[in-house]
Amino acid sequence: MTSIGKKFEKVLDALGEWGEEYIDYLNQKNC
């Protein structure tokens, strides 16, 4: 994998973690 690919993978991992927390936050707001 290229260095760009590795950086992109880290970004996707970070977005995935943030996205899950954000979805939980939205679900709590809607209750």
Q: Any alpha helices (H) in 1-31, and if so which ranges?
A: 3-30
Confidence (pLDDT) at 27: 93
Half-sphere exposure of 2 (CA within 13 A, CB side): 3
Token representation of residue 20: 């899950």
Confidence (pLDDT) at 6: 93
* Contact residues for 15 (Cβ-Cβ < 8 A; gap 6+): none
Q: Can you give the pLDDT of all 31 residues of the chain as single tens digits?
A: 689 999 999 999 999 999 999 999 999 998 7
Confidence (pLDDT) at 2: 87
Confidence (pLDDT) at 31: 78
Whole-prediction pTM value?
Answer: 0.46
Domain ranges of the chain: 1-31
* Contact residues for 13 (Cβ-Cβ < 8 A; gap 6+): none
